[in-house]
Structure 1
């Protein structure tokens, strides 16, 4: 079965980031979630090939840190910027939108993740500040061969990584371990699916920096 044959509701739950694509095209994956991608695109007059290509680009595996052990520092930094920094910014923007929607519609239910949207906004601010410090200060030091000057910034970033891990624990608490309740709507399920991928990505990002990029720099300092 191709993506075109799958329902919008299924795709929204299984492909993190798909909800942002559907929202941009004006496709309803909640109320109209039973329609296949091809049916919805045809009805809306959308180029279904372009739509499918966008969804396929979202399907990427989480990288193993070990595969980057032999990469140059410059290549590793570029990978982190594209695979994680850029992706986190898009992920959090969409997750805040979905969390707002779920809280607005289902906030009166005992299982609702009330407070999640505000927590994600706080994470957005904190993670953006963290990434900018890496992009503007730490990464230029590392790629210019000045590892000896990077020890203090590295330790500061590693401390902030601990804070990010704590913020992920709060997400688990607010969402009952990312478990949607029985009968949850497509938006609710898509939110938790997207959060699961964001969590896996952020953990992989932290692991790659702590155990490959930063560990290398500290050895060279």
Structure 2
């Protein structure tokens, strides 16, 4: 079984095995924007043992998960989940994270490990993600809810996938600014609260992109 798992894509494994996304985050494997990459190739790129990761995934195979199998849900049901769980949540996350980042930079900007530039980066992420979500809400999602697939949805889906890649690059930059979201030992409570929020944002955005790229858009492109 584990040999077969190494040949499957990260996106398909994230859909197939409950808890797989937690394993991928542990090893920093990109299952959302890089969802079409096989586990073997993704592990090789990071000098990881694909077989060992596959064995971890195999051990999860029989475990239950609190989330439904979104592959078996209608486009409308999945879209409602994305809107409520991710679009609304992202709009709540950014203002507070930007406030905290500004506070940390103002107080600790003279320290070598201070994430200088993070507040501006988060503001840019917020603007880009808001524009992206509005295009989904006003154009693509209504098309998919009406049952439109290819070729009508091909253009909007291609744009959304491209912008997802940009969001992935923004997450990488966020990690660079924050030592992979690792606070220094002497970090104050505000600094630690900021990084806890950043970790949540990263997890949420990666799961958000995964559900769209690997399930919603893939299903719309299947016929």
Using structure 1 for the length normalisation, give the TM-score.
0.69
* Aligned mate of 2:129, from 127, 130, 140: 127
Evaluate the alpha carbon distance shift between residue 125 and residue 181 of structure 1 in structure 2; reply closer, same or farther with a 3 A threshold.
same
Report what 2:86 is aligned to.
Answer: 84
Q: 1:179-213: per-residue Cα shift (whole Å, max 9, x none)?
A: 11111101100101110110011000000000000
Within 5 A, what are the aligned runs for 1:137-216? 137-148=139-150, 149-216=152-219
Q: Distance in 1 between matches of 2:89 and 2:69?
A: 20
Aligned residues: 158
Q: Which has the higher Rg, Structure 1 or Structure 2?
A: 1
Q: Distance in 1 between matches of 2:89 and 2:66?
A: 13
Indicate if the aligned counterparts of 1:63 and 1:204 stay in contact, CA closer than 8 A.
no
Report what 2:26 is aligned to.
Answer: none
Indicate if the aligned counterparts of 1:138 and 1:150 stay in contact, CA closer than 8 A.
yes
Within 5 A, what are the aligned runs for 1:57-76? 67-76=69-78
| Runs of 4+ residues deviating >2 angstroms | none
Cα offset for 1:166?
0.2
Report what 1:26 is aligned to.
Answer: none
| Superposition RMSD in Å | 1.4
Q: Distance in 2 between matches of 1:175 and 1:96?
A: 14
Q: 1:119-147: per-residue Cα shift (whole Å, max 9, x none)?
A: 00000000000000000000000001112
The runs of 5 or more residues in structure 2 that have no matched partner are 1-64
1:217 lines up with 2:220 in the alignment: yes
Cα offset for 1:63?
7.5
Report what 2:138 is aligned to.
Answer: 136
The runs of 5 or more residues in structure 1 that have no matched partner are 1-61
1:113 lines up with 2:115 in the alignment: yes
